[in-house]
Amino acid sequence: MSRKIRMGMVGGGQGSAIGKVHRMAAALDGQIELVCGAFSSDPRRSKASGAELYLPADRVYDSYAEMLERERRRPEGDRMDFVVIVTPNHLHYAPAAAALKAGFHVMCDKPMTFSLAEARKLKTLVDRTGLLFGLTHNYTGYPMVKEARELARGGKLGAIRKIVVEYPQGWLHELIEATGQKQAAWRTDPARSGAAGCMGDIGTHAESLAEYITGLRIDSLCAELTTFVKGRKLDDDGNVLIRYQGGARGILHASQIAIDEENGLNIRIWGEKGGLQWRQEEPNTLILKRPDGPRQLIRSGQGYLSRRARRACRLPAGHPEGFIEAFANLYCNYAEALGARLAGRKPDPLALDFPTVDDGVRGMAFIEAVVKSARAGAKWVKMAE
């Protein structure tokens, strides 16, 4: 490639939570430039957001439909290459499907869609168009998560027996949606969030992290969802027992009423020969547990790491790398995969290491199975393939 990859953004305007993180992550390695956007459902806000980012006024659009149409008509050497979607969950499918139909590659935030049915339709469209689809389950971007994957999938732990993964947060312990808090308002609204609240918002991160590291797929699960805060319409807490294919067992809990918890994503895995632990709030350390000696601390930036993990480090050991860098690792791989396609060459196989539409379908199947089980009084249900 003799140029940067061009990104258009849907959502992520002024006052949004994750739009800015996407822009920082996409820009970090100098491979991607933001060229246009439809940043809000309100055209005035979209314009103001684009102006703040110094985008030319004629590339800040009133709607994603206008953006797709006008970008499609620009010369090939000038139009955007891919669209990133950072709107609330109920507004993922329509822009993603429209972008694919218009011939644009897509990056989308999680959960991938509003429902499993939409997720399956999107997968059909991705398969049919052959376009590149990435999903920002960003916790899979941390170097120590990649090292955990190499160790777990490489047999270091032996056959995996048990996975305990939790994602506690405390920010929804009161009815803050009633105060107009924007991020809380749509996340707790079944018409905009989907069938689950907390379990869809952060439970899916825990589900995807466990699968990314171990490669194990959920066979069936038994779930309880609770709404603790009076007046709230969706779950703000959930506990799930999991049976993985192959026999491993799991416990997954997610909560948004766990006072004082920030982003306490924490995973512990035990196999026949050892165990692993990784905590998002201490992301540069991975703990390896052995039956015959003291635990070992594996650290980001070190030369002894696997190629997959080293490739995801940018700084020498001891200089903290964090959330933005891990997020950027998804964009970095996506850019390498897309750049290779556009240049007609084969990508580095490790660049294909980012979540895809298949992960998105499983995330939605997880949400649907959890809700079905909880509604049936915590019955065991099979997770759809």
Chain residues in the site for ligand NAD (CB under 6 A): 10-13, 16-19, 38-41, 64, 86-89, 91, 109-110, 136, 138, 182-183, 186, 201
Please give the DSSP secondary-structure letter assigned to residue 128.
H
Minimum CB separation from ligand NAD for residue 324, in Å?
Answer: 11
Cis peptide before 43 (omega within 30 of 0): no
| Pairing status of strand 380-382 against strand 249-255 | unpaired
- Please, which residue, 17 or 178, has the CB nearer to ligand NAD? 17
- Please, which residue, 237 or 270, has the CB nearer to ligand NAD? 237
Minimum CB separation from ligand NAD for residue 46, in Å?
Answer: 7
Q: Calculate the alpha carbon distances from 231 to 130, 175, 178, 371 in Å.
A: 44, 7, 9, 19
CA angle, residues 131, 332, 280, in degrees to nearest 5: 115
- Please, which residue, 219 or 358, has the CB nearer to ligand NAD? 358
Cα–Cα distance measured from residue 335 to residue 210, given in angstroms and rounded to the nearest whole number: 25
- Please, which residue, 232 or 244, has the CB nearer to ligand NAD? 232
Minimum CB separation from ligand NAD for residue 129, in Å?
Answer: 22
Q: Where are the alpha helices (DSSP H) in the chain?
A: 19-27, 43-52, 64-73, 93-101, 116-129, 143-153, 182-187, 190-193, 198, 204-214, 307-311, 323-343, 357-375
- Please, which residue, 42 or 127, has the CB nearer to ligand NAD? 42
Please give the DSSP secondary-structure letter assigned to residue 140.
G
- Please, which residue, 107 or 218, has the CB nearer to ligand NAD? 107
CA angle, residues 278, 262, 113, in degrees to nearest 5: 80
Minimum CB separation from ligand NAD for residue 188, in Å?
Answer: 12
- Please, which residue, 47 or 244, has the CB nearer to ligand NAD? 47
Cα–Cα distance measured from residue 138 to residue 134, given in angstroms and rounded to the nearest whole number: 11
CA nearest neighbour of 111 among 22, 207, 211: 207
Minimum CB separation from ligand NAD for residue 263, in Å?
Answer: 9
Minimum CB separation from ligand NAD for residue 41, in Å?
Answer: 4
Minimum CB separation from ligand NAD for residue 286, in Å?
Answer: 20
